[in-house]
Amino acid sequence: MTKCKSLEQELRHKALDLGADFYGIADLSSAKEPIREQGGDMMAQYPLSLSIGVAMPFAIVDQLPRHQDRAVALAYSTHSYDILNDRLDQIASRLAGIVQSAGHRAFPVRSSQTVNREKLHGLYSHKLAAHLAGLGWIGKNCLLITPQIGPRVRWASILTDAPLTSGQAIEQRCGDCMDCVNACPVEAFTGRNFRSDEPREARYDALKCHKYLQRHERTPGLDVSVCGMCVYSCPHGRNGVSGLSQR
């Protein structure tokens, strides 16, 4: 067995053993410019990216039409963000250590990361990486849609120069569906399909979403604000546990 194949198998097995539900490798050569525009040369220097995903708790996501209820908001914020982000960061750190020990560079990217507060985006797009790894496509809600459970997944990434075998990007399968667009309470989505040569603003007004959440944070007695209707409404996410078991 070659060292490359041995490393690939070790990474995949370790990711799944540590609790990842999704794992893939992306060739970033086709996305160098958008990666550089978002994160600079520091991020664009790497040829590959490892994507790891963990499924959100379906029972909590299914309560999101009641996201203005404090109990629902707390459950979603805690279990679909805080705890999953920590788990993903721990997995990414462990995998990065394996890559580094094998003699290659590894840059783990935090699951939740906002570095540009004006444009409200992170250092690196986990969704784009997972798409290029063949784990799903970017939907009209600007989320990564997996065939198994739709957008009900949180993601983290590890950038690397290790000689790994990459997956193939999946074509979008949203078709004429506009469920996520229609479900957004502030009409933040335009309904356009993802195109790598278009800015995010052509599809999504992040400021509308941000202001909606800020407004609810100021609601007396709420003190936590979530929405997630773009996650809840996607038909591809209705498979639940049965879809996850088919990954």
What CATH number does residue 218 fall under? 3.40.109
Q: What pLDDT, in 10s, does the model give residues 80-99?
A: 999 999 999 999 999 999 99
pLDDT classification of 1: cutoffs 50, 70, 90: very low
The better pLDDT of the pair 158, 4 is held by: 158
Whether the per-residue pLDDT at 201 is higher than 80: the answer is yes
The amino acid present at 158, given as its one-letter code, is I
Q: Provide the number of structural domains found in the chain.
A: 1
How remote is the C-alpha of 188 from its chain's centroid? 18
* pTM of the shown model: 0.91
- CA–CA gap between residue 199 and residue 186 (Å, rounded): 20
**SS3 labels along 35-84:** HHHHHCHHHHCCCEEEEEEEECCHHHHCCHHHCCCHHHHHHHHHHHHHHH
Q: What pLDDT, in 10s, does the model give residues 111-135?
A: 986 655 565 568 899 999 999 999 9
Element (H, E) at 22: strand 22-27
User: Mean pLDDT across the stretch 6-11?
Assistant: 95
Domain of 102 in residue numbering reads as 3-244
Whether the per-residue pLDDT at 235 is higher than 80: the answer is yes
Whether the per-residue pLDDT at 172 is higher than 80: the answer is yes
Angle (CA) 53-57-63 rounded to 5° is 135
* Tokens, residue 204: 């999504």
